[in-house]
């Protein structure tokens, strides 16, 4: 009998080695190499060319017919926005998020909405029994004859069920629980996750069935398993938010059928996830009037404008090295902005601890938030509140200049809708667009000018949120 070949696979990054190593050369993690048997499959399954294989021929790109992708409406506008307009038939979508964040709830609601409109949906749960899924469905008031539930972990049996039912949408909850008999490693291992995902991808592409698979995340917040998993699927959606807060953000980090800058915002309620139609009003409703260290910025998330509050707290340090902590903003960006304030504005911040956060649990990463962050830090350092009717937009350069931003007209229009009276913008952005009535637009060239405008003569008065 031939000896079975074994290999050692890193459970974090998928690095393979013929011998065991304490530290993975790929991701530098310790004790992550696990021994696995190599799968023994036929040449046809492994992808080798056989005599019966039909070879495809290359075609000139000018002769390829272009067709618009037909999409299924999920009837959840926030999800449609993130997916790029709806579910594309034959697509494979990976949904990741922390445990208990609401992934299963979201996908069960999507299944219900699609099934209500005449499409057959198959919900496969590998973590819960059928009765547990029914309890969640009753809590969400979900009832549809076209929504079928199956508790199964064998991929081969799942494939047979899909062939018999021919559903429009399939939900796999989760990819870490299903397995293939041909792979000898345990469910959830790198080899099982990779091979099972490849099997579902083949089903989706050959039968034109849209498949959503749920993926667990690691302590670092990334999808558990090899990075190859994210490359295999068509779209990767992250469901973010804190378990102790009601708001959830669905963000696309990869999308072959749409933009990766879109976000969907939901609120967790007793009857499930509800869409948030105006997130700016929610993020600003608890803002304190007259408090130092606060500034409002109009940030672009894809095609949506979101007004959020940036808070900063500057206090003398008790240690040799001052602390720099941030939530919702990159830590390195805070250090850069504080260096500009110290060098170009003259603020002595080298002996000050800095704590900066974005209120509401949103994460911002676009350059237009630089000026608002700088104003919030300066406001806390000088203990001078910013006007509550101001919105601050602009990118800050290392020489202290305020650089232009994109889609300024759309940002100002959103600020005007929410009752703000003044917007501080880069001078280079003025001209060439229409200023909404009832709002003043002030252009600045440097950070010094912006600080003088906002902190030199602060006014009181809270904006009214009128839509």
pLDDT in tens, 239-269: 887 666 788 889 898 999 888 878 888 998 8
Output the pLDDT for position 37: 72
Instruction: For residue 391, list its beta bridge partners.
Output: 423
Output the pLDDT for position 64: 82
What mean pLDDT is predicted for residues 38-64?
59
Would the pLDDT of 237 be above 50?
Answer: yes
DSSP 235-291: EEEEEE--TTSSEEEEEEEEETTS-SS-EEEEEEETTEEEE-S-HHHHHHTTPPTT-
Instruction: Dump pLDDT digits (tens) for 331-377.
Output: 999 999 999 999 999 999 999 999 999 987 788 889 999 999 999 99
Output the pLDDT for position 467: 31
Instruction: Dump pLDDT digits (tens) for 152-197.
Output: 999 999 999 999 999 999 999 989 899 998 887 888 888 888 899 9
User: For residues 402 and 98, which has the higher predicted lDDT (pLDDT)?
Assistant: 402
Q: How confident is the model at residue 66 (pLDDT cuts 50, 70, 90)?
A: confident
Instruction: For residue 309, list its beta bridge partners.
Output: 296
Would the pLDDT of 203 be above 80?
Answer: yes
Would the pLDDT of 461 be above 60?
Answer: no
Strands, sheet with 422-426, edge to edge from the N-terminal-most edge strand = 390-392, 422-426, 440-444
Q: From the annotation, which residues make up the binding site for ATP?
A: 97-104
Would the pLDDT of 284 be above 70?
Answer: yes
What mean pLDDT is predicted for residues 16-28?
87
Output the pLDDT for position 168: 94
User: For residues 98 and 149, which has the higher predicted lDDT (pLDDT)?
Assistant: 149
Percent of the chain with pLDDT over 90: 53
Would the pLDDT of 7 be above 70?
Answer: yes
DSSP SS3 for 26:
coil
Output the pLDDT for position 140: 92
Output the pLDDT for position 309: 94
Q: Is 64 exposed, middle or buried (0-12, 13-18, 19+ CB in 10 A)?
A: exposed
Output the pLDDT for position 216: 78
Residue of 191, 193, 209 lying closest to 153 (CA atoms): 193
Would the pLDDT of 418 be above 60?
Answer: yes
Q: From the annotation, which residues make up the binding site?
A: 97-104
Percent of the chain with pLDDT over 70: 90
Strands, sheet with 272-275, edge to edge from the N-terminal-most edge strand = 147-151, 121-125, 169-173, 210-215, 92-97, 235-240, 247-255, 263-269, 272-275
Output the pLDDT for position 51: 38
Q: How confident is the model at residue 13 (pLDDT cuts 50, 70, 90)?
A: confident
Residue of 118, 119, 201, 107 lying closest to 159 (CA atoms): 201
Instruction: Dump pLDDT digits (tens) for 119-129.
Output: 999 999 998 99
Alpha helices in 328-404 (DSSP H): 331-340, 370-382
Kindly give, in sequence order, each residue whose CB lies less than 8 Å from that of residue 182, ignoring residues fewer than 6 positions away: 39, 40, 41, 45, 195
Prior bond of 174 cis (ω within 30°): yes
Helices (H) and strands (E) in the chain, counts: 12, 21
d(CA 165, CA 143): 19
Q: How confident is the model at residue 39 (pLDDT cuts 50, 70, 90)?
A: low
What mean pLDDT is predicted for residues 51-65?
72
Q: How confident is the model at residue 384 (pLDDT cuts 50, 70, 90)?
A: very high
């Amino acid at each position: 009998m031939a000896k079975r070949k074994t290999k050692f696979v890193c459970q974090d990054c998928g690095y393979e080695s013929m011998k065991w190593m304490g530290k993975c050369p790929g991701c530098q993690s310790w004790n992550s190499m696990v021994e696995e048997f190599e799968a023994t499959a036929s040449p046809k399954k492994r992808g080798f060319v056989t005599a019966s294989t039909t070879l495809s021929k290359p075609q000139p790109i000018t002769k390829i017919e272009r067709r618009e992708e037909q999409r299924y409406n999920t009837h959840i506008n926030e999800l449609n926005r993130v997916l790029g307009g709806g579910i594309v038939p034959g697509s494979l979508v990976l949904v990741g998020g922390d445990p208990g964040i609401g992934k299963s709830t979201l996908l069960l609601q999507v299944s219900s909405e699609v099934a209500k409109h005449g499409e057959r949906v198959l919900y496969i749960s590998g973590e819960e029994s059928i009765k547990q899924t029914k309890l969640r469905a009753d809590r969400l008031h979900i009832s549809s004859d076209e929504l079928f539930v199956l508790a199964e972990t064998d991929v081969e049996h799942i494939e047979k069920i899909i062939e018999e039912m021919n559903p429009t949408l399939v939900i796999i909850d989760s990819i870490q629980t299903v397995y293939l008999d041909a792979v000898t490693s345990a469910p959830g291992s790198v080899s099982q996750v990779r091979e099972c995902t490849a099997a579902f991808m083949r089903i989706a592409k050959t039968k034109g069935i849209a498949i959503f698979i749920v993926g667990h995340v690691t302590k670092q917040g990334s999808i558990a398993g090899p990075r190859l998993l994210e490359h295999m699927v068509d779209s990767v959606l992250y469901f973010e938010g804190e378990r102790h807060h009601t708001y959830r953000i669905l963000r696309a980090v990869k999308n072959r059928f749409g933009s990766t800058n879109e976000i969907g915002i939901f609120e967790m309620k007793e009857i499930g996830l509800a869409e948030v139609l105006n997130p700016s009003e929610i993020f600003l409703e608890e803002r304190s009037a007259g408090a130092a260290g606060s500034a409002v910025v109009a940030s672009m998330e894809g095609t949506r404008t979101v007004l959020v509050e940036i808070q900063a707290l500057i206090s003398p340090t008790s240690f040799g090295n001052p602390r720099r902590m941030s939530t919702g903003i990159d830590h390195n960006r805070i250090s850069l902005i504080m260096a500009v304030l110290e060098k170009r504005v003259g603020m002595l911040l080298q002996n000050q601890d800095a704590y900066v956060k974005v209120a509401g649990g949103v994460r911002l990463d676009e350059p237009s938030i630089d000026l608002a962050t700088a104003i919030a830090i300066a406001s806390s350092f000088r203990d001078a509140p910013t006007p509550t009717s101001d919105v601050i937009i602009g990118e800050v350069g290392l020489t202290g200049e305020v650089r232009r931003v994109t889609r300024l007209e759309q940002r100002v229009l959103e600020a005007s809708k929410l009752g703000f009276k003044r917007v501080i913008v880069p001078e280079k952005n003025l001209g060439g667009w229409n200023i909404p009535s009832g709002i003043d637009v002030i252009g600045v060239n440097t950070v010094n000018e912006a600080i003088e405008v906002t902190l030199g003569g602060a006014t009181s008065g809270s904006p009214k949120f009128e839509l």
